[in-house]
Amino acid sequence: MKTANSPDTKSKDILSIKKIIVSGHENVVYCEDKDTGLKAIIAIHDTTLGPALGGTRMWNYSSKEDALNDVLRLSRGMTYKAAISGLKLGGGKAVIIGDSKTQKDKKLMCKFGQFVDSLNGRYITAEDVGMSTKDMEYVRSETKHVTGIPESMGGSGDPSPVTAYGVYMGMKAAAQFKWGNNNLKDKRILIQGVGHVGENLLMHLTNEGASVIINDINKEHLSNISKKYNAKIALDENIYDLDIDIYAPCALGATVNPDTISRLKCDIIAGAANNQLADEDRDGKLCLDKGICYAPDFLINAGGLINVYSEINGYDRDHSIQQTREIYETTLEILKKADNEGIPTNDAALKIAKQRISNKNK
Ligand code: NAD
């Protein structure tokens, strides 16, 4: 990893910050603190449209290089998610290297907050995997450049219900495009992963009368959710072979790949998981060729980002929900554009996002 002292950070003598030279990113810094054991990378991909907002992920990466690759990929994705959602935000992300269950404490999060603060607002952090609203409270004690703080502190709290609502809107738009009708009543929908987002999505779909099948590696949780919503359960080995209309990945990335695409019998893929396509270029095209309408993940799962964005200017939940509802129109527009141009839907969405950034530059 090539590093140099960072020129655009304050208090660099107190905080050990090294700039990592990466082409295509505006600023990437490695942050280390011996006292707390903090090792983190903050990546600012692009701030053309506004400050780079993106969550902090804590993960037991096997090497600094793995952590760097992850933060670069995720921060780039945030740039396009913000741009396609019409937000005045750029893309950034942070990763903390370590086990969030055993290595995370108040001191570590406060120190991380100091590093975020040293970037003078060009990066705004939020929750991601391995983080909680409590952790954001600790970060908040050191910097104002943080979102996703608890509702009791005037923040926007858990973004998952808003994310799920956006996914639901995107799914309905895909139905309208594919079937000429956005009614999901009696449609057979598989939700993979009924966690924070998946459960909220299940609630919307159940209310509309869809026939939902659920899958989750946590069997006890799966059974509880099944009882709560009277949803059918599918077991792991055969989920991609089920006779369904819509597949909603709400657990992991990369579940849309040549193996699963060849097995899936659905018309639509629309879910919350980030990076659903194992290989963006190859798998978007495979979906197109098979006639599966893929609702781009970074477009339809942007509700959570829209929600935390609202926190910057004083949180207004109604406004967040209204803006998230617009995912319906945006998705429809992009699916039509992709169809007219004969290109994969994820390419069409990326094209518009990139155009918005380059128009701002002119
Ligand atoms: P979560 O951890 O609350 O839920 C994930 C669920 O998936 C858990 O119940 C887990 O047991 C299950 N799971 C994990 N691996 C699985 C597997 N192999 N097969 C089936 N189930 C599996 O996470 P979440 O907040 O609901 O987020 C779900 C997805 O949506 C993630 O990919 C996340 O990155 C993405 N996302 C979330 C938000 C948000 O607001 N929470 C916003 C944008 C994107």
- Categorise residue 157: left if φ over 0, alpha if ψ from -120 to 50, beta otherwise: left
Quick one: how far is CA 274 from the chain centroid? 5
CB of residue 166 inside a 6 A radius of ligand 1:
no
Instruction: Report domain extents, the chain.
Output: 2-76+91-152, 160-360
The whole-angstrom separation of Cα 31 and Cα 19 is 9
Active site residue 227: no
CB of residue 217 inside a 6 A radius of ligand 1:
yes
Closest atom of ligand 1 to 302 CA is 43
Q: How far is the CA of 15 from the centre of ligand 1 (A)?
A: 34
**For tokens 């509700």, what's the residue?**
303
Measured in degrees and rounded to the nearest 5, phi and psi for residue 134 equal -60, -40
Q: How many CB atoms lie within 10 A of CB 230?
A: 8
Print pLDDT tens along the chain (362 aa): 545 444 444 444 478 899 999 999 999 999 999 999 999 999 999 999 999 999 999 999 999 999 999 999 999 999 999 999 999 999 999 999 999 999 999 999 999 999 999 999 999 999 998 998 899 999 999 999 999 888 888 889 889 999 999 999 999 999 999 999 999 999 999 999 999 999 999 999 999 999 999 999 999 999 999 999 999 999 877 899 999 999 999 998 899 999 999 999 999 999 999 999 999 999 999 999 999 999 999 999 999 999 999 998 889 999 999 999 999 999 999 999 999 999 999 999 999 999 999 998 76
How far are the Cα atoms of 47, 283, 334, 347, 355 from residue 360, in angstroms, in the given order? 11, 30, 20, 20, 9
CB of residue 193 inside a 6 A radius of ligand 1:
yes
Name the token pair of 307: 């929600």
Q: How far is the CA of 193 from the centre of ligand 1 (A)?
A: 6
The whole-angstrom separation of Cα 126 and Cα 132 is 9
What local confidence, expressed as pLDDT, does residue 67 receive? Answer: 97
Backbone Cα Rg of the chain: 20
What local confidence, expressed as pLDDT, does residue 8 receive? Answer: 43
Give the residue among 303, 245, 252 at the shortest CA–CA distance from 277: 252
Closest atom of ligand 1 to 195 CA is 4
**For tokens 């919503």, what's the residue?**
229
CB of residue 250 inside a 6 A radius of ligand 1:
yes
CATH level 3 topology of 160-360? Rossmann fold (3.40.50)
Which residue type is seen at 218? N
The whole-angstrom separation of Cα 171 and Cα 184 is 9
Measured in degrees and rounded to the nearest 5, phi and psi for residue 54 equal -175, 150
CB of residue 159 inside a 6 A radius of ligand 1:
yes
Those residues whose C-beta lies under 8 Å from the C-beta of residue 180, and which sit 6 or more positions away, are: none
CB of residue 224 inside a 6 A radius of ligand 1:
no
Buried b (16+ CB within 10 A) or exposed e, 166-192: bbbbbbbbbbbbbeeebebeebbbbbb
Q: Please identify which of the residues 93, 111, 178, 187 carries the catalytic annotation.
A: 93
Q: How far is the CA of 24 from the centre of ligand 1 (A)?
A: 29
What local confidence, expressed as pLDDT, does residue 154 receive? Answer: 85
Measured in degrees and rounded to the nearest 5, phi and psi for residue 293 equal -85, 110
CB of residue 143 inside a 6 A radius of ligand 1:
no
160-360 has the same fold as 2-76+91-152: yes
CATH of domain 2-76+91-152: 3.40.50.10860
- Helix (H), strand (E) counts: the chain: 13, 14
Best residue among 57, 196, 223 to mutate for probing ligand 1's pocket (most ligand atoms within 8 Å of CB) is 196
Which residue type is seen at 260? T
- Beta strand 38-46 pairing with 90-97: antiparallel
Give the residue among 81, 138, 29, 164 at the shortest CA–CA distance from 357: 81
Q: Are 246 and 171 in contact (CB under 8 A)?
A: yes
